[in-house]
């Protein structure tokens, strides 16, 4: 009983502080002051400032430090950053060291969409939109790739992986990669024949195994047990949902607005995501991963969140 | 038509004589410097560049659809991290030829690029020869946008008014006596044979039928064949196959990241030409030549550089080759078991990974034999282990055989550690003596506890 009261009290305190944080953020948008010495090592929230299009880091007090690094999509883990950068000749996949120095840049085809780094910082993935595939009459298709930064192995097109040992159909598209802790297994969306499925990939074996239909943009929880994803709704929107990998049970999260993003787990209990706001730009929100609670604003005028530990 | 081109060329020559002097004049003092710096790239009597169209790296290298290209790759240097610079085609051809896309972002024709330096104008201006041999070109000097399976968008020299019409010729004039070739030439297959409209196998067979004789001749005549692609076919990254075959080419897979600008820079360095545009900041390819020394490394970070050595194999009389793995390859090293160039350096950009993060069976070893140069008395080696086992079953070790004295030293006895830090070991050397260093990772192939060791920065002092 005592414990329950304590929990209730704690919740109230937390909610109160969230409310305060919300007020502060709305009243005084975090100043994205360019600051030297931003690192991917200090705790905080990596994000893209949607007013400047540049990489920024928000500390636990809600204060934001901006950088000069323009990115369309971001992610980071364990000191490895990835910035998908639009460019004149070609978009670029830019690998960043923890001090934001550019370690390597690889020309990307198409328009940057998703980016992810494995928890160890070793594996990097990206998704771009391309046009010109004959099977869909000039509409956008996606392409995804994975780089093993330790061995240098580069898989430029996951559509070249097999599906249960066989070549996928020609209309296959893959997007939204998320890595497991062993730096070999990963999850992604495979679209083929009108189905969008969650697949489990094996990087070494170059194979994809379908697990469940109607799961897009998966994001694996740090403990490896659950997938946060966007579930397509009949009305054309997406519901942020969590899938339990052990029994494939689905839990819709408390965010009822349509979320078109690959969510990022802040910890094993919370996922963060970008939501466009009116006009241009977006805000980053967070919601409990168990279906309870309500969404809270984490960072105004920002998207592409990634927790820095 | 030819007379008009000649007229343009004459005017252009005059323009170069006036304005161009600035460039040439400015380049002249730098020329000597460039020549010194360019010693890392051999000066070939002939280079033939053959660009193909629109294929992913993985559609060519390792693919049964391209048996001849793969055999070429095995005969020469194959670049595993080579990239186009843009899409669509035309910008890539212009970039390769001039160090810049020159504002070309589509395939429209004609592009008329006035007074802009390019590889052709540079070579000719410096007294070397240049020709583009285009299959399907209806007549020498033709400037039309297309004719049958010929397209000008794959033929960039036509766009530059400072390349004479005489350099734009039909592929049917490609000599059978290769000694008659100009210094540098491009051979552009037509829209079928370049794999644009026809199958990979069609282009692959065309290459064998048309250029294998040159490739074999080149190997013994101080000449070079470069086969590359303009761009990939829309995977997620613009990764292409690029292969060098010829004299002074050390066969192997090379992992440094290159693009069209690195190739242009390499050709410019070979002939002492001032690098153009983005080629100025692109590293020349220096590690594939048998004449190369471990001097300038392609990596962005300088590595502790051993003293220069004239020949890397079998025994290096003058030091260790590629001791920091900054070539991005195993140049200089003999490998057994499972090894990989790793993006996990002690310093610089790369290290050598021995073993793997998945189980491997027994010893994996990197070996190099060298002679200690005058004044050298110490060998330093950095290593880092990720051993998930116990030393009974898995370990890192380093042995140095003192070949001259017939003894073996183990600067690193069998050690199993996963503490995540780089450590150094040393051995004492005698100048002029021969040594064989062995960098070892042992794993018992047991699932779940793989062992891997990274080695880096073997330095003589």
List CB contacts of B176: < 8 A, sequence separation 6 or more: none
Q: Average pLDDT for residues A90-99, to the nearest whole number?
A: 95
Hey, is the C-beta of A111 within 8 angstroms of any chain B C-beta? Answer: no
Decide: helix, strand or coil at residue A3: helix
Evaluate if residue A73 carries a pLDDT over 80.
yes
In the structure, what pLDDT confidence band is assigned to residue B39 with cuts at 50, 70 and 90? low
- The answer to whether residue A9 scores a pLDDT higher than 90 is no
Between CA B300 and CA B283 the distance in angstroms is 9
Q: How would residue A133 be classed by pLDDT, with cut points 50, 70 and 90? A: low
In this predicted model, which residue has the larger pLDDT, B18 or A276? A276
Asked if B357 lies within 8 A of A183 by C-beta distance, the reply is yes
Taking phi first (over 0 means left), then psi (-120 to 50 degrees means alpha), and beta for anything else, what does residue B362 get? left
Min CA distance, B128 vs chain A (Å)? 31
Nearest to A200 by CA among A219, A217, A213, A185: A185
Cβ–Cβ below 8 Å for A107 and B81: no
Judged against a pLDDT cut of 50, whether residue B15 lies above it is answered with no
Query: Residue B86 in contact with residue B101, Cβ under 8 Å?
Result: yes
B348 close contact with A: CB closer than 8 A = no
B127 by Cβ neighbours in 10 Å (0-12 / 13-18 / 19+) ranks as: exposed
**Mean pLDDT value of segment A134-140:** 64
* Residues in Cβ contact with A303 at an 8 Å cutoff, skipping those fewer than 6 apart: A47, A48, A50, A261, A274, A282, A283, A284
* CA B439 centroid distance within chain: 27
**What Cα–Cα distance (Å) separates residue B394 from each residue in B386, B443, B444?**
10, 5, 6
Name the residue among B246, B243, B247, B291 with its Cα closest to residue B263.
B243
Q: What does the alpha-carbon distance between residue B307 and residue B325 come to, in Å, rounded to a whole number?
A: 15
On chain A, the residues whose CB falls within 8 A of the CB of B341 are 151-152
- Single pTM value for the model: 0.70
Distance between CA atoms of B436 and A181, rounded to whole angstroms? 39
Secondary structure string (H, E, C) spanning B276-342: CHHHHCCCCCCCCECCCCCCCCCCCCCCCCCCCCCCCCCEEECCCCCCCCCCCCCCCCEEECCEEEE
Look at A107 and B344; give whichever has higher pLDDT. A107
Report CB contact under 8 Å: B238, A109. yes
pLDDT digits (tens, 9 = 90+) for A197-224: 999 999 999 999 999 999 999 999 999 9
Whether B193 has a pLDDT exceeding 80, the answer reads: yes
Is pLDDT at B49 greater than 50 in this prediction?
yes
Contact residues, chain B, for A203 at CB < 8 Å: none
pLDDT above 80 for B257: yes
Q: Is A170's Cβ below 8 Å from some Cβ in B?
A: no
3-state secondary structure of B405: coil
pLDDT of residue A132: 63
Q: CA angle, B45 as apex, B154 and B307 as ends, to 5°?
A: 110
Q: Mean pLDDT throughout B269-298?
A: 84
Q: Give me the pLDDT at residue A17, please.
A: 38
* pLDDT confidence band for B201 (50 / 70 / 90): very high
Integer Cα distance of B82 and B72 in angstroms: 16
Answer whether the bond into residue B372 is a cis peptide, omega within 30°: no
**pLDDT of amino acid B293:** 53
Q: How many Cα atoms are found within 13 Å in the side-chain-facing hemisphere of A50?
A: 19
Rounded-to-integer distance, Cα B204 and Cα B46, Å: 22
A152 touches chain B (CB under 8 A): yes
Q: What is the pLDDT of residue A212?
A: 96
Chain B touched by A136 (CB under 8 Å): no
Average model confidence (pLDDT) across chain B = 86
If phi over 0 gives left and psi between -120 and 50 gives alpha, with beta otherwise, what is residue B95?
alpha
Question: B83 and A106: CB-CB below 8 Å?
Answer: yes
The span from the CA of A287 to the CA of A275, in Å, is 12
Residue B137 pLDDT grade (very low, low, confident, very high; cuts 50, 70, 90): very high
Cβ-defined contact of B234 to A132 (cutoff 8 Å):
yes
A132 contacts in chain B (CB < 8 Å):
234
Please report, in angstroms and rounded to a whole number, the separation of the first and last CA atoms in chain B. 65
Interface contact flag, A154 B239, Cβ < 8 Å = yes
Report yes or no: B334 at the A interface, CB cutoff 8 Å.
Answer: no
Does the beta carbon of A107 lie under 8 angstroms from any beta carbon of chain B?
Answer: yes
Per-residue confidence (pLDDT) for residue A275, from 0 to 100 = 98
| A25-29, A218-222, B139-143, B164-168: segment of lowest average pLDDT | A25-29
Each residue of A142-193: pLDDT tens digit? Answer: 999 999 999 999 999 999 999 999 999 999 999 999 999 999 999 999 999 9
Eight-state DSSP code of residue B461: -
Write out the DSSP string of B135-192: TT-SSTT---SEETTEEGGG-GGGGBTTS-GGGEEEGGG--SSGGGS-SEEEEE--TT
B29 pLDDT above the threshold of 90: no
> Does the pLDDT value for residue B297 go beyond 70?
no
Residue A306 has a CB neighbour count (10 Å cut-off) of: 24
Residue partners of A284: CB distance under 8 A and separation at least 6: A45, A47, A272, A273, A274, A275, A297, A298, A299, A302, A303, A305
- Residue given tokens 């993006």 in the structure block: B343
Give B165's Cβ-side CA count (13 Å radius): 16
| Residue B20 pLDDT > 80 | no
Per residue in B310-345, pLDDT tens? 333 344 445 788 888 877 778 788 888 888 888 888
Interchain contact B301–A (C-beta under 8 A): no
Average pLDDT value for residue range B156-164? 98
The pLDDT score that the predictor gives to residue B408 is 86
Interface with chain A: mutation pick from B100, B234, B236, B301, highest number of A CBs within 10 Å: B236
Q: Do B85 and A108 touch (CB under 8 A)?
A: no
Check residue A136 and give its pLDDT: 58
Q: Best of B99, B103, B237 to disrupt the A interface by mutation (most A CBs within 10 Å)?
A: B237
Buried b (16+ CB within 10 A) or exposed e, B233-264: bbbbbbbbbbbbbbbbbbebbbbbbbbbbbbb
SS3 A270: strand
Q: Is A134 on the interface with B (CB under 8 A)?
A: no
Taking phi over 0 as left and psi of -120 to 50 as alpha, with beta for the rest, B111 belongs to beta
A204 near B CB under 8 A:
yes
**Separation CA B371–CA B320 (nearest Å):** 8
User: Are the Cβ atoms of A156 and B56 closer than 8 angstroms?
Assistant: yes
**What pLDDT is attached to residue B337?**
87
B152-166, B191-205, B402-416: least confidently modelled range:
B402-416
**Closest CB to B237 among A89, A149, A156:** A156
A160 lies within 8 A of chain B by CB: yes
Instruction: Tell me which of A46 and B35 has the higher pLDDT.
Output: A46
**Rounded to whole angstroms, how far apart are CA atoms A302 and A292?**
24
**If you search the block for the tokens 């042992």, which residue do you land on?**
B442
For residue B22, pLDDT beyond 70: no
* Lowest model confidence (mean pLDDT) among B46-60, B199-213, B381-395: B381-395
Mean pLDDT for the stretch of residues A85-97: 93
Kind of pairing, strands B184-188 and B168-170? unpaired
pLDDT band at A138 (very low <50, low <70, confident <90, very high): low
Q: Which residues contact A285 (CB under 8 A, 6 or more apart)?
A: A255, A272, A273, A274, A275, A295, A296, A297, A298
pLDDT of B51 over the 90 cut: yes
Distance from CA of A37 to the nearest CA of B (A): 21
Look at strands B361-371 and B315-317 and give their pairing: parallel
- Our CA-based measurement puts residue B259 at a distance from the nearest CA of chain A, in whole angstroms, of 10
Q: What is d(CA B223, CA B245) in angstroms, rounded to the nearest whole number?
A: 9
Q: Which position has the higher pLDDT, A111 or B318?
A: A111
Report the distance separating Cα A120 and Cα A181, nearest Å. 7
- Measured torsion, CA atoms of residues A202, A205, A207, A208, in degrees rounded to the nearest 10: -10
The span from the CA of A46 to the CA of A71, in Å, is 12
How far, in Å, CA of A270 to CA of A259, rounded?
A: 15
Which pLDDT score, from 0 to 100, does residue A36 have?
63
B237 touches chain A (CB under 8 A): yes
Among A150, A152, A157, beta carbon nearest to B235: A157
User: From the list A89, A149, A151, which residue is nearest B85 (CB)?
Assistant: A89
> A121 with A138: CB under 8 angstroms?
no
Task: Convert the pLDDT of each residue in A238-271 to its tens digit.
Answer: 999 999 999 999 999 999 999 999 999 999 999 9
d(Cα B71, Cα B80) in Å, to the nearest integer?
15
- The closest alpha carbon to B131, from B84, B103, B163, belongs to B163
Query: What span, in angstroms and rounded, lies between the C-alpha atoms of A249 and A251?
Result: 7
Checking if the pLDDT of A30 tops 70, the result is no
pLDDT tops 50 at residue B17: no
């Amino acid at each position: 009983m005592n414990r329950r009261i304590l929990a209730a009290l704690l919740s109230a305190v937390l909610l109160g502080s969230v409310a305060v944080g919300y007020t502060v953020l709305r009243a005084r948008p975090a100043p994205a002051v360019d600051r030297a010495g931003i690192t991917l090592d200090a705790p905080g929230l990596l994000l893209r400032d949607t007013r400047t299009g540049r990489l920024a880091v928000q500390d636990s007090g809600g204060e934001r430090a901006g950088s000069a690094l323009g990115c369309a999509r971001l992610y980071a883990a364990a000191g490895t950053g990835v910035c998908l950068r639009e460019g004149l000749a070609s978009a670029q996949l830019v690998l960043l060291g923890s001090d934001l120095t550019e370690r390597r840049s690889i020309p990307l085809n198409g328009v940057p969409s998703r980016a992810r780094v494995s928890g160890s910082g070793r594996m990097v993935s990206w998704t771009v939109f391309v046009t010109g595939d004959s099977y869909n009459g000039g509409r956008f298709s996606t392409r995804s790739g994975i780089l093993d930064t330790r061995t240098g192995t580069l898989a430029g097109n996951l559509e070249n992986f097999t599906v249960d040992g066989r070549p996928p159909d020609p209309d296959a598209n893959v997007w939204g990669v998320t890595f497991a802790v062993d730096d070999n297994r990963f999850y992604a969306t495979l679209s083929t024949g009108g189905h969008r499925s969650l697949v489990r990939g094996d990087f070494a074996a170059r194979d994809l195994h379908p697990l469940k239909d109607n799961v897009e943009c998966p994001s694996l929880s740090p403990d490896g047990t659950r997938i946060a994803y966007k579930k397509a709704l009949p009305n054309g929107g997406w519901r942020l949902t969590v899938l339990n990998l052990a029994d494939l049970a689905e839990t819709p999260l408390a965010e009822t607005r349509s979320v078109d993003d690959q969510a990022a787990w802040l910890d094993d209990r919370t996922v963060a995501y970008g939501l466009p706001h009116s006009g241009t730009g977006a805000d980053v929100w967070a919601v409990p991963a168990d279906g309870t609670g309500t969404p809270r604003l984490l960072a105004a005028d920002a998207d592409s969140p990634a927790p820095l530990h | 038509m030819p007379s008009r081109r000649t007229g343009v060329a004459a005017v252009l020559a005059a323009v170069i004589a006036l304005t161009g002097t600035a460039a040439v004049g400015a380049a002249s003092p730098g020329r000597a410097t460039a020549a010194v710096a360019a010693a890392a790239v051999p000066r070939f009597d002939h280079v033939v560049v053959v660009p193909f169209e629109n294929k992913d790296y993985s559609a060519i290298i390792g693919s049964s659809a391209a048996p001849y290209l793969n055999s070429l790759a095995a005969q020469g240097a194959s670049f595993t991290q080579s990239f186009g610079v843009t899409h669509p085609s035309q910008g890539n051809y212009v970039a390769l030829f001039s160090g810049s896309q020159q504002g070309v972002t589509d395939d429209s024709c004609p592009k008329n690029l006035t007074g802009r330096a390019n590889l052709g104008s540079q070579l000719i201006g410096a007294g070397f020869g240049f020709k583009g041999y285009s299959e399907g070109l209806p007549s020498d000097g033709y400037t039309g946008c297309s004719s049958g399976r010929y397209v000008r968008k794959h033929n960039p020299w036509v766009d530059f008014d400072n390349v004479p019409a005489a350099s734009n010729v039909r592929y049917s004039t490609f000599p059978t006596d290769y000694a008659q070739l100009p210094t540098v030439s491009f051979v552009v297959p037509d829209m079928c044979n370049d794999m644009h409209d026809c199958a990979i196998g069609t282009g692959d067979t065309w290459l064998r039928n048309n250029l294998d004789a040159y490739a074999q001749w080149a190997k013994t005549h101080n000449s070079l064949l470069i086969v590359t692609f303009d761009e990939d076919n829309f995977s997620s990254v613009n990764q292409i196959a690029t292969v060098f075959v010829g004299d002074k080419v050390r066969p192997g897979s090379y992992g440094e990241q290159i693009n069209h600008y690195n190739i242009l820079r390499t050709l410019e360095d070979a002939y002492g030409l001032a690098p153009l545009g983005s080629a100025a900041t692109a590293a020349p390819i220096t590690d594939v030549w048998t004449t190369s020394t471990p001097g300038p490394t392609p990596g962005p970070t300088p590595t502790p550089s051993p003293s220069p050595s004239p020949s890397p194999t079998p025994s290096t009389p003058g030091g260790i080759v590629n001791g920091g793995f900054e070539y991005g390859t195993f140049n200089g090293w003999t490998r057994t078991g499972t090894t990989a160039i790793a993006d996990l350096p002690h310093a610089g950009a790369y290290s050598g990974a021995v073993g793997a993060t998945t189980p491997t069976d027994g010893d994996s070893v990197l070996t190099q034999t060298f002679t200690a140069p005058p004044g050298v008395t110490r060998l330093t080696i950095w290593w880092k282990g990720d051993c998930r086992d116990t030393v009974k079953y898995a370990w890192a070790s380093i042995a140095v055989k003192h070949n001259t004295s017939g003894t073996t030293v183990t600067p690193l006895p069998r050690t199993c550690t996963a503490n995540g830090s780089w450590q150094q070991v040393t051995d004492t050397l005698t100048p002029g003596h021969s040594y064989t260093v062995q960098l070892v990772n042992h794993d018992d192939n047991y699932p779940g506890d793989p062992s891997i060791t990274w080695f880096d920065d073997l330095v003589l002092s």
